[in-house]
Amino acid sequence: MWLDLASFALTALGLFFFVAGTAGLLRFPDTFSRLHALTKADNLGLGCVALGVALQAGHWTDVLKLVLIWALALLAAGTVAQLVARAALAEPRARKGEGERP
């Protein structure tokens, strides 16, 4: 029962961070702010979700996989945010706010 409650709390927290990251993606004024919002909040949310689900895992290999997935996501997110931001420096549209018609 306590395990279930902890799972509930952690996944709820994870969902909150996902919503927060997405709010940043929608509301922040320029590309670099949006990058910054996304990369941190979502991966924190993913970590909370992974912890919450790990409490329900039946076998230790599943816990290991959850850890590996989160580690991969963190590694990829950090790398990709840095590289995409660098690539965006060359793009004038990234500096100003909403410029292009959809």
Partner 1 sequence: MTGAAALMLDLLLVVLVAFAGWAALAGRGVFRAVVFFIAYGLLVALGWVRLGAVNVALAEAAIGAGLTGVLLLATVGRLERAGAARDVPLMRGAAAWVPALAGLAVTGALVWAWFALPLPESPGPQLAEALPRSGVENPVTAVLLNFRSWDTLLEAIVLLAALLGVWMLGRDGDWTAPLGLRQHVREGGVMAGFGRVLPPLGLLVGVWLLWAGADAPGGAFQGGTVLAAVIVVALMAGVAAPPGVDALPLRVALVLGPGVFLGAGLVLAALGAGFLTLPEAQAKAVIVAVETALTLSIAVTLAGLVLGPPTAPNGAAARTPDGARP
Partner 2 sequence: MTGWLGAWLLLCAAGVLVTLGAALWRVWRGPARADRMMAAQLVGTGGVAVLMLLAPAQGWAALDVALVLAILAALAAVGFVKASTPDGAGDPEEADAPHDPPLDPPLDLATDSARSDRDVA
**Residues in touch with partner 1 (CB under 8 A):** 68, 71-72, 75-76, 79, 82-83, 102
2 binds, among partner 1, partner 2, none (CB under 5 to 8 A by kind): none
Shortest distance (Å) from residue 38 CB to partner 2: 6
Query: Which H, E and C letters describe 21-58, residue by residue?
Result: HHHHHHHCCCHHHHHHHHHHHHHHHHHHHHHHHHCCCC
Q: 65 in helix, strand or coil?
A: helix
**Closest to partner 1 by CB, 3 or 100:** 100
Shortest distance (Å) from residue 7 CB to partner 2: 6
Rounded to whole angstroms, the Cα distance separating 67 from 84 reads: 25
Measured CA angle at 97 (ends 92, 100), to 5 deg: 70
**Closest to partner 1 by CB, 1 or 61:** 61
Shortest distance (Å) from residue 70 CB to partner 2: 9
**Closest to partner 1 by CB, 55 or 73:** 73
**Closest to partner 1 by CB, 19 or 71:** 71
Rounded to whole angstroms, the Cα distance separating 63 from 50 reads: 9
